[in-house]
Amino acid sequence: MIKRHEEPVMVTRSSLPPLEEYVEMLKPIWDSAWLTNMGEYHETLKEKLKTYLKTPNLELFVNGHMALELTLQAMKLTGEVITTPFSFASTTHAIVRNGLTPVFCDINEEDYTIDVDKLESLITEKTSAIVPVHVYGNPCDVKRIQEIADRHGLKVIYDAAHTFGEEIDGVGIGQFGDASMFSFHATKVFHSIEGGAVAFHDSKLKDLLYQLKNFGITGYEQVEYVGANGKMNEFQAAMGLCNLRHVDADIAKRKVLTERYRERLGGVEGIRLCKEKEGVRYNYAYMPVVFEGYGADRDEIFAALKEYNIFARKYFYPCINDYACYRDQFSSDDTPVAKRIASEVLTLPLYPDLSLETVDEICDIILKCGEKTK
Ligand SMILES: *Cc1c(COP(=O)(O)O)cnc(C)c1O
């Protein structure tokens, strides 16, 4: 018998360092009274992340969204930008808030990243960039995307919010394309409460990114760009430095939990899990499960788990092209795979301190649902 959890089990739970570790970091902030504007912790975190993410060029931001929005601005894009609707609101909003037109490409069935076979037919003379998403930590087909981009002279900016610390054949995921945005939001694998970073290819972009996150100020008494305020403060950087010490241990714990989910749910008829690719160092950010022809549908599984006070998430549902703010312009009918997967996918609870016992309970509930209706 599975008992209802007293405390709700959420889909994620923020990792926190031991309180003393963070408190210890505060003293120097009080001593210097330097709270934000690229202080000491900011600079230290930036250097440590360059090493960890294996990327030579990196700038920190107040959050991942501002990082993406300002990077698109820095690329001086025009016209249309191709992206996928199977992502978090941020990806498309960053495009639209730059005055650009999003063009939605469908996703593939295997890992829910951009369908490279459908990408080229969406390119027009107005296209200036591609913004693919390494969704759930599944790396896009970076090689083919780059080939297409090169053929048409397009910029590639990855939404790498889910892929902190991932590598393809030993190469940091942030090294692909012209730039990659990482999110350090509290719910992500690595966080600085709120926070984000951009890894970029052309070292000349450094000054521009720095200026854009600081109101477009380019010098004393000189403002050259319509920038924003995208600076990471010292309290965020301090949290980032603490969490960086523990992130490898956290990823190792996530791996064990993911393996248990895979062991229990893999191979069950009607349940689809993403296949892992050779040569990828994963961070085990999410546990997406697609129910297709299973004894119970996604919404039934969601409701069944809720009975036990367990909250999975319909992530990503709805598709971005079905949002109220975009509904008059776009429709998920144009991206049928994304539309279907969005209605069948559930991300299951996954965070370092989740117990294997709870994972087993979640799997038991799901498997029981499947039998019941058969
Ligand atoms: C979290 C997330 C973002 C935005 O990052 P914030 O740091 O929350 O601003 C962007 N894209 C995706 C896919 C995300 O999951």
Other CB atoms within 10 A of residue 263 CB: 12
pLDDT of residue 1: 76
pLDDT of residue 374: 46
Instruction: Give, in degrees to the nearest 5, the angle at Cα 281 between 338 and 312.
Output: 45
The chain-wide mean pLDDT, for the chain, equals 97
Fold of 248-371: Aspartate Aminotransferase, domain 1 (3.90.1150)
Q: Which residue out of 12, 90, 194 has the highest number of ligand 1 atoms within 8 Å of its CB and is therefore the one to mutate?
A: 90
Residue 181 Cα to ligand 1 middle (Å): 9
Residue 373 Cα to ligand 1 middle (Å): 37
What are the domain boundaries of the chain? 19-241, 248-371
State the Cα–Cα distance between residues 102 and 90, nearest whole angstrom: 12
Q: Does domain 19-241 have CATH number 3.30.360.10?
A: no
Residue 88 Cα to ligand 1 middle (Å): 6
Q: Does any ligand 1 atom lie closer than 6 A to the CB of residue 88?
A: yes
pLDDT of residue 33: 97
Q: Which of 69, 72, 70 is nearest to 94 (CA)?
A: 69
Amino acid letter at 119?
A: L
Q: Stretch 61-90: mean pLDDT, rounded?
A: 98
List C-alpha distances in Å: 50 to 55, 59, 173, 174, 246. 5, 9, 12, 10, 17
pLDDT in tens, 333-342: 999 999 999 9
Antiparallel, parallel or unpaired: β 127-131 and 271-272 = unpaired
pLDDT of residue 3: 87
pLDDT of residue 372: 59
pLDDT in tens, 86-137: 999 999 999 999 999 999 999 999 999 999 999 999 999 999 999 999 999 9
Gyration radius of the chain over CA positions: 21
Helix 64-74 / helix 89-96 crossing angle, nearest 10 deg: 30
Protein residue closest via CA to atom 8 of ligand 1: 185
pLDDT of residue 293: 94
On the question of pLDDT at 373 being above 60, the answer is no
**To the nearest whole percent, how much of the chain has pLDDT over 90?**
98
pLDDT of residue 85: 98
pLDDT in tens, 216-257: 999 999 999 999 999 999 999 999 999 999 999 999 999 999
pLDDT of residue 2: 84
More confident residue, 68 or 327: 68
State the Cα–Cα distance between residues 237 and 200, nearest whole angstrom: 20
Asked if residue 133 lies in contact with residue 87, where contact means CB atoms within 8 angstroms, the answer is yes
Residue 89 Cα to ligand 1 middle (Å): 8
Question: What pTM, to 2 d.p., does this model score?
Answer: 0.97
| Alpha helical stretches, state H, 128-229 | 142-152, 205-212
